[in-house]
A = this chain, B = another copy of it.
Amino acid sequence: MSKLKFLALGGMGKVTQNLYLYQYEQEILLIDCGIGFPDLYMPGVDALIPDVTYLLNQVEAGAKIVGMVLSHGHDDHIGSLPYLLPTLPDFPIYASTLTAQFAHDRLLDKKVDKEIQVLEDRQVVELGQFFKFQLLAITHSVPDSKHILLETPVGKIYHGSDFKLDKTPVDGRLSDMDFIQEIGEKGDLLLANLDCLRVEREQWTPSESTVGPALFREMENVSGKILVTLMSSHLHRIQQTVDACERLGRKVVFVGRSVEQNVKTALQIKNLTIPKGLMLDKKKMSQVPDNKLCIIIAGSQGQEGSSLVRVVYGDHQIVQINNQDKVIFSADVIPGNEVPYYSAIDQLAADGIEVVYPDIRPDIHRSGHASRVEQELMLKLLKPKFVMPIGGADRHRALFKKTVAQPLDYQDWQILLPKSGDVLNIDQKGVSVAQQISLMATTIDGLGIGDVGPIVLSDRLNLSKAGIIVILLPRFNKKIDFTKMQVVSRGFVFMKEADEVINYIKKETLVIAKDLGNNVKDEELKHRLEKRLARRLFKIIRREPIILPVIWDF
């Protein structure tokens, strides 16, 4: 019998860029299709999409994508759809109602036309000859989230994407613990892939429904406007804020493209309930006194250009803020965003505006991810033969092994910690690495897809550290005229103060060129100039600007 192949196309050990491939013989099932977020070392890049080269090669070699299942509506699970679908053959996509609608919105944004099929919980879907799957209800920070039970020829697999075990969810839709228990009781689960992101936390993650009362308390006794900023897909948080507004007699205004779009979608499919007359169009805000207003606004990470940040710095067209108002950050900082997030909070504080945020009011935000004890419970209930932590960074995966799986007597061979690019072979007998491929995420930069690669990024980083020096060398009749050499620079030193350095560079260029003689080839001359000038400048000033010699024939 064949083995099942498994590969994370977005890279294992990455929290975002979720796209998982399960292949049996010539049939491929995909789970999720998310974007990733660039780090400090990818300046200018807007987003990352998973590398589908392996997938395309398989298709090329005759494999068929029998379907894709979406677990929930966060961008790191659906955001790559509009970029990747046009590059892939057609296949059916399945999701819950809200997830399908959010996916549809993302596709429409980029004018990609594709129907998503909506499934009921536990509804069994057969894909091709080899795969069956069911969605099952699970709680997370976006409604209508699902886990996925796969049946494959080698056995059953539980794909446990992002989740928490919320005992009192805002919409009352509990995780399907009965089904989970049933899977475990059958005792034939081959593999469970489980969200390990929050394994560092030992206490059960508090229920989302505890946030409502905390928000209400913060919204009482405010003499001006209230601004609540949150993740725009967090409809349960939005619902609780709306409920608090109703009790406090404040109109609700939504500001920010993502918030407005998600609210519209959620209202259509009744994932959000706003009493008649409570919602106010942002253009009519001036008709209502400040103490009767609550603005739910995008930008909870302090993102440059977001609605909130424009308000904070006084650049917003509609919303102005003053020191009677209060701003509530109902969102934790996402690791890596600390600088813009706290800058926004500091600016508000400096302007004398009351601002609360989870560091000082932990109960105005609760995580959507399971803590260690919840992960442990899940594993206890499911009793798979193998377990693989997913959705976390490498430190989380290692900690899951040590603090969740090992205490439950899982042995090293049962705990799967593939490296990024490992293609696993899985069957009842065991798991092995079939192949190691290298994954390189595609960059989205402005409207460019994939045209910013490692060389461009490395140039950008070097440019940002010390700028660029362009050395222009004109050549007449096959002879460079060094007397006409010109040197221009940006980002190196302030040009008005740079005469000395520029003259030094001209002088050194001449020396280097003389050393090399007349018969040196262009590439060699350029290369030597780059190397030697870099070394000499570093000695003098300890900086390494990009040096770009240009030879120009006339």
Residues of A within 8 A of B (CB): 13, 39-40, 43-44, 200, 335-336, 338-339, 342, 345-350, 352, 355, 357, 359-360, 393-395, 397-399, 419, 445-448, 451-453, 455-456, 459-461, 463-468, 470, 472, 474, 484, 486, 488, 490-494, 497, 538, 540-543, 546, 548, 550, 552, 554
Contact = CB atoms under 8 A, between A and B. Distances in A.
Contacts of A335: 338-339, 342
A460 B395 contact: no
B456 A460 contact: no
A446 B538 CA distance: 8
A467 B472 contact: no
B494 A552 contact: no
A44 B546 CA distance: 13
A385 to B, nearest CB: 22
Contact of A554 (B395, B448, B465, B474): B474
A460 B541 contact: no
A494 B453 contact: yes
A39 B451 CA distance: 28
Given A464-B43, A552-B472, A542 B446 contact: yes
A453 B335 CA distance: 29
Contact of A200 (B359, B393, B445, B492): B359
A548 B395 contact: no
A202 to B, nearest CB: 9
B336 A339 contact: yes
Most B Cβ at <10 Å: residue of A399, A491, A497 = A491
Nearest to A344: B395
Contacts of A399: 349, 360
Contacts of A336: 338-339
A200 B491 CA distance: 38
Contact of A463 (B346, B347, B451, B460): B460
Nearest to A540: B447
* SS class, residues of chain A in contact with chain B: mixed
Contacts of A342: 335, 393, 395
A350 B419 contact: yes
B456 A491 contact: yes
A488 B550 contact: yes
B395 A44 contact: no
Contacts of A44: 464-467, 543
Contacts of A486: 550, 552
22 contacts: A40-B40, A40-B339, A43-B464, A335-B338, A335-B339, A346-B393, A346-B394, A349-B393, A349-B398, A349-B399, A350-B394, A445-B466, A446-B543, A448-B493, A451-B494, A452-B494, A456-B467, A456-B494, A463-B491, A468-B490, A474-B474, A490-B546
Contact of A355 (B352, B395, B463, B484): B395
Contacts of A345: 395
Contacts of A472: 472, 550, 552
Contacts of A461: 464
A335 B466 CA distance: 24
A491 B448 CA distance: 14
A455 to B, nearest CB: 6
A542 B488 CA distance: 26
Nearest to A12: B350
| Nearest 3 Cβ contacts at the A-B interface | A446-B542, A464-B464, A463-B463
A542 B447 contact: yes
Contact of A346 (B350, B395, B467, B542): B395
Contacts of A459: 467, 490-491
Nearest to A393: B346
A368 B33 CA distance: 45
Contacts of A393: 342, 346, 349
B39 A339 contact: yes
A472 B472 CA distance: 9
A456 B469 CA distance: 13
Contacts of A347: 394
B455 A541 contact: no
Contacts of A548: 470, 488, 490
Contacts of A398: 349-350, 352, 355
Contacts of A468: 463, 468, 490
Contact of A460 (B39, B451, B455, B491): B491
A20 B448 CA distance: 49
Nearest to A501: B451
Contact of A448 (B355, B419, B543): B543
A430 B460 CA distance: 52
Given A335-B338, A335-B342, A468-B468, 11 more contacts: A346-B393, A348-B395, A355-B398, A360-B399, A447-B541, A448-B542, A456-B467, A463-B463, A463-B490, A474-B552, A490-B546
